[in-house]
A and B are shown apart, each in its own frame.
Chain A
């Protein structure tokens, strides 16, 4: 399988995720965008790992770490969103500075 396939997919997902992060007003949707970007990175890591095929499995292990971190990040992020909602009654990022 050509290495390009996953890489191109990754590029597309990254661009879409970036758009989501920059364009959506809803904080939860911003986090969704972030998840997409992280997945794009994961894809790349895995693709390189499969291509390079070294015994340490660096790419896959790092992907594992990224997923773990993503879980932590989404947990924290959502906690912040909750706090923000409690403080301002809105999860609109444009209005976060009113808190």
Chain B
């Protein structure tokens, strides 16, 4: 039996340290007038342990630490009997440390290191059950797709370093404030590429649902608090370098608008609870980006925190359900209301938060996102007014769809007739309870805009009513089928690009074996030809040699005469 408490204790120590560090920063005012301590711009990279924790950073840190701790506790039951529990638990700790590094650091390279280490940790954790083919495939896909996005961040750091002559984030902020945002479009689009990859937005969205074969607590960790959230956070963090750029903001708005609606629709038609929740994450992340695009980064971060809480709750609850039922297929569920009571009640809170039902935190933060988009339609932000209007409409439609799929999932999982008895291990339920309480408690003190609240609640209720009306029926075929196939968007990434690359690679390999060797082989053939020509003279007959000498002598004389 593997001893599990040291890992929980380790996580707890890290979490407590983070809490002690972050909580005092929550009240800090946003910061102005900072003078970089290292004034000489450096050409060469250097890492520094400088940190810069702003209130939003502190929130994200606390969220990450809290969720990780809960996941770790939860895992003692969920993964306790796994033979590779040790590597699993240690990777979770590493994951947390990397996330904290991304959130807290002031150094772009530390940010990048944390960012990539998270990518690798998620790769290893998604592939934890590497005996399963889909697990291996999902892990590889997650790694390659996010690494592709990460190139954006890498090149963005190159550009930032060259533009502002520093690798300090605050240094770059100050530079941008003093000199204006230089190369804002380039930096912004590059960072956008990175976060699109990391936060699974269109067109790089497909790795996230495919990461589902990983252990469910890991899914909770990745989806709620760390990996995908890092994308949102970093985009907001670097916003001062490109926040005034219309192109970047428009691109972000388009990406987020397309993603939120598509992902919500995909979630609506899933037959698998976990995959549906994965699409819901993608959709909710798009909300955060929409807020940032509307110029309200703090709103985006608020929604990030609230989403972190309720999505962690939902995934962990999903884990309990899977633990009990043995599968994540919705068809195998139903009637779990009575057999898994704690899970039922907490997940009900979670689904309510997802759907945006008062008084959960999801309601408030989502409303603030909607409100901020509405504000952006006045045309006072870099986002063009028309785009903002379109985004607002899409966001409301998504509220409808979100409420519908949340309701549908809740019904299919918990309503109906119970099939058999299940157990809920306490170390799995109390993290759920903690998160459920958090989903309600975090809403204390949230501001409320009555117009938006009324409209969004109306839309959400309509969605719920729609779901109630449809029950477990699929949508009409012409709508259901392409959505269930996720519009074939995965096709290029899973099929075309790998197949094409492998095809090109085979050609390259063949060319490398056979083609490039033309010049050495040609050289060899040429040498052989010359040698066989010369060998013809080596008859072994002395008079032939003498003749050759005579010919040579003549040639020499001849050349001498002609040259003279």
Contacts and interface: CB of A to CB of B under 8 A. Distances in A.
Contacts of A96: 542
Nearest to B540: A97
17 contacts: A18-B550, A21-B543, A21-B546, A22-B543, A22-B546, A22-B547, A22-B550, A23-B543, A30-B543, A93-B541, A93-B542, A93-B543, A94-B541, A94-B543, A96-B542, A97-B540, A97-B541
A23 B550 CA distance: 13
Contacts of B543: 21-23, 30, 93-94
Nearest to A96: B542
Q: Nearest 8 A-B pairs (CB), nearest first?
A: A97-B540, A94-B541, A22-B547, A22-B543, A93-B542, A22-B546, A93-B543, A21-B546
Contacts of A93: 541-543
Contacts of B546: 21-22
Interface string B514-558: 000000000000000000000000001111001100100000000
A22 B543 CA distance: 5
B1 to A, nearest CB: 87
A18 B546 CA distance: 10
Contacts of B540: 97
Interface residues of A, number: 9
Nearest to A18: B550
Contacts of B541: 93-94, 97
Nearest to A30: B543
A22 B544 CA distance: 7
A18 B543 CA distance: 11
Interface residues of B, number: 7
**Chain A interface SS verdict (over half):** helix
Interface string A10-42: 000000001001110000001000000000000
Interface of A: 18, 21-23, 30, 93-94, 96-97
Nearest to B546: A22
Given A22-B550, A96-B542, A97-B541, 11 more contacts: A18-B550, A21-B546, A22-B543, A22-B547, A23-B543, A30-B543, A93-B541, A93-B542, A93-B543, A94-B541, A94-B543
A48 B542 CA distance: 33
Contacts of B542: 93, 96
Q: Which of B540, B543, B546, B550 gathers most chain A CB within 10 Å?
A: B543
Interface in B65-98: none
A26 to B, nearest CB: 11
A48 to B, nearest CB: 20
A97 B543 CA distance: 12
Contacts of A30: 543
A80 to B, nearest CB: 12
Nearest to A21: B546
A97 B542 CA distance: 9
B75 to A, nearest CB: 88
A93 B543 CA distance: 8
A22 B546 CA distance: 7
Nearest to B549: A22
Contacts of A18: 550
Contacts of A94: 541, 543
Nearest to A94: B541
B564 to A, nearest CB: 21
B553 to A, nearest CB: 10
A70 B547 CA distance: 22
Contacts of A97: 540-541
A18 B540 CA distance: 19
A21 B542 CA distance: 10
Contacts of B550: 18, 22
Nearest to B544: A22
A18 to B, nearest CB: 7
A94 B542 CA distance: 7
A36 B461 CA distance: 126
A44 B547 CA distance: 23
B432 to A, nearest CB: 99
Contacts of B547: 22
Nearest to B542: A93
A21 B545 CA distance: 11
B197 to A, nearest CB: 77
Most buried by A among B540, B542, B547, B550: B542
A22 B548 CA distance: 10
A82 to B, nearest CB: 18
Nearest to B547: A22
A23 B540 CA distance: 15
A39 to B, nearest CB: 18
A21 B547 CA distance: 9
A60 to B, nearest CB: 27
A22 B554 CA distance: 15
Nearest to A97: B540
A78 B130 CA distance: 90
A8 B444 CA distance: 128
